[in-house]
Amino acid sequence: MSQDVYVIGASMIRFGRYRATSYAGLAVPAVLGALADAGIERDQIDTVYCGHTYGGMLVGQRIVRDIGLGGLPVVNVDNACSGGATAAHLACAGIRSGQHDVVLVIGVERLTQFGGGTLPLIAEDPEVAAGMVMPALYAMRAQRYLHERNATVADLAEVSVKARRHGQLNPYAQFQAEVTAQEVLGSRMIADPLTMLQCCPTGDGAAAAVFVSAAVWRRLGSPPAMRVRASVLHSGEFAAGFRDMTRPEITYRSADEAYEQAGLGPTDLDVVELHDAFTVAELVYYEALGLAQPGQAVELLRRGGTTFGGQVVVNPSGGLLAKGHPVGASGAAQITEMFWQLTHRAGARQVEPARIGLTHVTGGGISGFDHGACCIHIFESVIQS
């Protein structure tokens, strides 16, 4: 019988541009916040998993060193945009197996080190050498999606409008101002048909969460928490030839497995944080996560089915489009948002009811895959009366 896993504390910094701040400088406030929130002393932590992509050597050690923590296993996890979530996945696996009791999960990234522009990809990849950048990948997905689902760029714009409207309620979001569909479509073209306001921004950020075993959760007096119902990680399946870009197999497969692990389905979800790196992604993932039937995603968005008051609130934080997307930090930030939602501490953006939530990130930019990585978690609110 594997152990139940609980998240008992989480924190993050506001995502944004911190050109004069190091990786440790970004992460330490989030780590201290998560520990204080959990009521855990640093010497109770038995392992640290730190997700990042561009942090370089020993980024986790550089962070915990600054809070006087050493001598314990620190594992640094690069899995592109799934880095922070993969760190959480490893924490879950370690606690479930009985190897760990108290795990600190960190996600951190400093994208302003590159000055701006598109995410640096792997130069030795043949598609990258041929001119692939992340906006181009999603732009081609958008072109196919619009073509096959009979949708328009105005539909894409509505994704950004919703994201910004949610972000306006989130003091941790990089962008906290609303935009109109006209502004979205009128912004600078990045990769046809995706305009600037349909792309997640460049930014820095950090988030941290404390994962514990059921035994530790009970010893602490069963505080408000979220229980892990599913933790799933997959890599992409290589295809040399045709691949349907509107149906990324990696998310379909990961979602199916997550629902099976949780014994739950898409209709059980109250709140979702999904990987809206570009507008089209949100519509594609409504279908992939089973929130909408194929071809019904635009309709679901248009009738307000995925905003406050709808059947499931998608990206109450503002998502990657408004909250920001410091790649290795995003998975951990989604988990932080979900923790606040499921412990009913999300303030003006609180989803009601918030009993079951799902977080979803993908990752990558290499040839032959829809994406290189995908990590999905399903959590359940646990609040003892």
Partner 1 sequence: MTAPPAVKEDLVPSEPVVLVEGEPRLAMLRCEDCDQLLQSTRAVCFRCLSPRLRAEAVESSGTLYAFTRVHVSAHREVPYAIGYVDLDAGVRILGQLADFDAVSLGDRVALTSDERRGWVFASTTGEAR
CB of 364 vs partner 1, minimal distance in Å: 15
Q: Which is nearer to partner 1, 7 or 200 (CB)?
A: 200
Closer to partner 1 by Cβ: residue 107 or 372: 372
Task: Decide if residue 238 touches partner 1 (CB under 8 A).
Answer: yes
Of residues 280 through 299, those in contact with partner 1 by CB under 8 A are none
Q: For residues 242-281, which are near partner 1 according to CB under 8 A?
A: 242-243, 245
Per-residue binder mask for partner 1 (CB under 8 A), 123-162, x = binder: -x-xx--xxxx-xx--xxx-xx--x---------------
Q: Supply the minimum distance, in Å, between the C-beta of residue 180 and partner 1.
A: 22
Q: How far is the CB of 112 from partner 1 (least distance, A)?
A: 15
Residues marked active site are found at 81
Region near partner 1 per CB under 8 A, out of 37-45, 55-63, 232-240, 346-354:
232-240
For residue 212 the two structure tokens come to 């514990």
Measured from the CB atom, the residue of 118 and 296 that comes closer to partner 1 is: 118
Does position 190 interact with partner 1 (CB under 8 A)? The reply is yes
- Give the residue with the Cβ less far from partner 1, 88 or 156: 156
Q: Is 239 in the site for partner 1 (CB under 8 A)?
A: yes
User: Is residue 165 a contact partner of residue 349, using CB atoms and an 8 Å limit?
Assistant: no
Nearer to partner 1, 278 or 340 (CB): 278
CB of 158 to partner 1, least distance (A): 21
Q: Are 283 and 152 in contact (CB under 8 A)?
A: no
Decide if residue 367 touches partner 1 (CB under 8 A): yes
Instruction: Name the residue nearer to partner 1 (CB basis): 12 or 132.
Output: 132
Distance of closest approach, residue 257 Cβ to partner 1, in angstroms? 24
Give me the least distance between CB of 145 and partner 1, in Å please.
10
Binding site for partner 1 (CB under 8 A): 117-118, 124, 126-127, 130-133, 135-136, 139-141, 143-144, 147, 188-193, 238-243, 245, 367
